[in-house]
């Protein structure tokens, strides 16, 4: 119907360094009204105007859904990424006017659950900050297991323990602490739903073990926004609009299509929601698929690509855009 979601004009109301890697950003509406209510697990897409370049990155809302005076996100600095997180860390200061999207939830709580079992890895803690606030406010039953590399990189671990005490269990890689996953998954009451957010390896591990231990697929929920990866530049022909574009090494294919004045629909910009799915007309080369949306068969048959996160290497690529 139209590209993305309704936009919100906000101002950065606070910037708080949390630890060596993570900084928290607070947004309020410029018109001083309340922000839209949201549900735990929702994200917003933040528009970053960096000189000539515009990046649009999704971040989970981590504040309480019960308090909509401000939205908060936490951004982990990625020194080898495409520069979105570096821009946030270096250039975004209190008072800066920015544009963010309305909240979208692709990682919603299943409110039928008798118990919510949450597994977080690293910065994957952020959606659980909002979900635990939501559940705690309504007497919900949850248990959170949170792994981080070290105690000092366990973002918000202190706060969570302070809020929820024994409902939170921490694990630190440098101390060789690991979630005893099989035991954990085998000892849950009937009606438990499992949620996992963290690095791809962790998500795959948890999903595989849950499936092996007989958890129904509809009780296992996961969210992994793939950040668009940098790569070699490549050329693309857009068959519908008749344009030929170059995708820069630090640019995503979706960003390059948008920069050419073509507006495909999008929501998550992380290979999850399926909105920007694009048909391949012809190609000579190989695809680098990074999405979680297309099936393996789609990937093998090379008939579709998710331009928000995936790239191409080769001689020629023609897309139906």
As a whole number of Å, the end-to-end CA separation of the chain is 15
Selected range binding other proteins among 13-21, 30-38, 160-168, 233-241, rule: CB under 8 A:
30-38
- Please pick, from the candidates 18, 28, 36, 169, the single residue that binds other proteins as defined by CB under 8 A: 36
Question: What are the structure tokens assigned to 227, written together?
Answer: 């950040």
Smallest separation (angstroms) from other proteins to the CB of 88: 24
Please tell me the distance from the alpha carbon of residue 86 to that of residue 78, in angstroms, as a whole number. Answer: 7
The owner of tokens 């918000």 is 156
In sequence order, the β-bridge partners of residue 247 are 234
Mark 136-175 with x for binding to other proteins (rule: CB under 8 A) and - for no binding.
Answer: --x-------------------------------------
The owner of tokens 């960003």 is 255
Task: Give whichever of 109 and 308 is closer to other proteins, judged by the CB atom.
Answer: 109
Smallest separation (angstroms) from other proteins to the CB of 221: 9
Smallest separation (angstroms) from other proteins to the CB of 186: 23
Answer for the pair 28, 13: CB distance below 8 angstroms, yes or no.
yes
- Please pick, from the candidates 48, 62, 104, 306, the single residue that binds other proteins as defined by CB under 8 A: 104
Task: Give whichever of 218 and 296 is closer to other proteins, judged by the CB atom.
Answer: 218
Does residue 64 belong to the site contacting other proteins (CB under 8 A)?
no
Nearest residue to 72 via CA among 14, 8, 148, 157: 14
Residue ranges of alpha helices (H) inside the chain are 84-91, 126-137, 157-164, 181-186, 200-212, 253-259, 296-301
- Please pick, from the candidates 108, 188, 229, 237, the single residue that binds other proteins as defined by CB under 8 A: 108
- Please pick, from the candidates 32, 112, 166, 183, the single residue that binds other proteins as defined by CB under 8 A: 112
Please tell me the distance from the alpha carbon of residue 301 to that of residue 73, in angstroms, as a whole number. Answer: 38
Torsion of CA 129, 133, 139, 141, to 10 degrees: 0
> Which residues of the shown chain bind other proteins in the complex (CB under 8 A)?
1-2, 5-6, 36-39, 41-42, 65, 102-105, 108-112, 134, 138, 218, 267, 273, 275
């Amino acid at each position: 119907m139209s590209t993305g979601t309704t936009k919100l004009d906000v101002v950065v109301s606070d910037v708080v360094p949390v630890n060596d890697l993570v900084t928290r950003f607070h947004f309020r509406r410029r018109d001083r009204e309340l922000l839209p209510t949201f549900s735990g697990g929702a994200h917003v897409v933040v528009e970053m105007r960096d000189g000539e370049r515009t990046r649009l990155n999704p971040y989970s809302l981590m504040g309480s859904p019960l308090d909509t005076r401000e939205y908060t996100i936490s951004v982990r600095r990625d020194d080898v990424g495409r520069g979105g997180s570096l821009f946030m860390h270096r250039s975004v200061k209190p008072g800066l006017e920015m544009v963010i999207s309305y909240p979208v939830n692709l990682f919603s709580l299943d409110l039928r659950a008798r118990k919510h079992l949450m597994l977080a890895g690293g910065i994957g803690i952020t959606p659980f900050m909002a979900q635990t606030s939501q559940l705690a406010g309504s007497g919900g039953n949850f248990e959170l297991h949170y792994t981080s590399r070290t105690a000092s990189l366990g973002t918000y671990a202190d706060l969570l323990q302070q809020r929820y005490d024994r409902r939170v269990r921490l694990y630190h890689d440098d101390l060789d602490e690991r979630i005893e996953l099989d035991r954990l998954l085998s000892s849950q009451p009937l009606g438990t739903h499992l949620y996992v957010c963290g690095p791809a390896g962790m998500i795959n591990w948890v999903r595989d073990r849950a499936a092996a231990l007989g958890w129904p697929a509809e009780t296992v929920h996961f969210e992994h926004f793939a950040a668009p990866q940098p790569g070699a530049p490549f050329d693309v022909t857009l068959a519908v609009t008749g344009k030929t574009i170059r995708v820069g090494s630090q640019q995503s294919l979706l960003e390059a299509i948008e920069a050419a004045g073509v507006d495909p629909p999008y929501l998550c910009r992380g290979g999850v929601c399926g909105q920007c799915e694009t048909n391949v007309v012809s190609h000579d080369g190989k695809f680098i698929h990074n999405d979680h949306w297309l099936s393996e068969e789609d990937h093998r048959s090379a008939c579709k690509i998710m331009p928000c996160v995936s790239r191409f290497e080769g001689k020629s690529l023609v897309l139906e855009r």
